[in-house]
Amino acid sequence: NAGVMQNPRHLVRRRGQEARLRCSPMKGHSHVYWYRQLPEEGLKFMVYLQKENIIDESGMPKERFSAEFPKEGPSILRIQQVVRGDSAAYFCASSPPQGARHEKLFFGSGTQLSVL
Amino acid sequence: QKEVEQNSGPLSVPEGAIASLNCTYSDRGSQSFFWYRQYSGKSPELIMSIYSNGDKEDGRFTAQLNKASQYVSLLIRDSQPSDSATYLCAVNPPMFSGGYNKLIFGAGTRLAVHP
C-alpha cells in the first residue's frame, strides 16, 4: 500500500472553507476508490473513479462533495463549505484495471481532516 | 441488520495463543472476502483474501469461509504483541454490471495480544 500516495497527511480547515484531498494511485493502477472512516467505525465507500470518469458515486453526499480523476494528475476529493461532521480520515485506494471480480484494493496512508 | 458485522472487542489473548476473529455478512451473493489489519492512525493493510468455501492458510494466518452460513473468520496462530490492531472484514457484494468492486467493511474487531 506504500505505492498509493495521499496528501496532505493532515488537513485543518475552519467551518465554511474548502478541503482538497489528493490521491495518486499505484503505478499501473487505473481505478481509484475513496473511503471515509469515522472514529471507531469501519470504512464507508464514497466514490469509484476511472480515468476521466466517475463510475459510482452512490456513497458520496449529494451536496458539497465532488471527486475527479483527470487524465493527467492525481484524483481529487473536494469538500466545499466544510462542517464539523466532515471531520474524518479519508482513504484512497487503487486497483489494477484487470480481473475486476477479485481485484484487491491497496490503500494510501489517508488524510485526516479536522474541521474547527 | 448491518451488511457486515463484527464483534468490536477488544479481544484479548495472551502471547502465543490463537486469536479467532469472526465476521458475518448479509448478502448471500457475495463473492470475495478480505481481511485488513489497521494499526491505530494508520491505513488498512490487506492480509488475507478468500473466495471459496474452506480454509486458506498464509503463514500464521488462516482465513475460513462458509458461504452457506454467511460467515468468514480469521485465525492468527502464535499471536504476537505486534498483532495488536483492529482487524477489518470486507466483503464484495455481487458483481455490478460495471464489473468493479465496492467493498463493504465491518466496523472492525480490536485485538490486544498481551505478553
| Average pLDDT, rounded, for chain B | 91
Interchain pair B105, A44: CB under 8 A:
yes
Residue-wise pLDDT for A70-104, tens only, equals: 988 999 999 999 999 999 999 999 987 765 555 67
Q: Where does the pLDDT of residue B97 fall: very low under 50, low under 70, confident under 90, or very high at 90 and above?
A: very low
- Strand pairing category for A10-13 and A111-115: parallel
DSSP code of residue A3: T
Contact indicator for A63, A74 with CB cutoff of 8 Å:
no
Which residues does residue A94 pair with via DSSP β-bridges, in sequence order?
A32, A106
Interchain pair A42, B88: CB under 8 A:
yes
Say whether A84 sits in a helix, a strand or coil.
helix
pLDDT of residue A34: 96
Say whether B82 sits in a helix, a strand or coil.
helix
Cα–Cα distance, B31 to B92 (Å, whole number): 6
Say whether A102 sits in a helix, a strand or coil.
helix
pLDDT of residue B16: 97
Q: Where does the pLDDT of residue A42 fall: very low under 50, low under 70, confident under 90, or very high at 90 and above?
A: confident
pLDDT of residue B94: 72
pLDDT of residue A1: 45
Nearest by CB to residue B100, choosing from A1, A35, A100, is A100
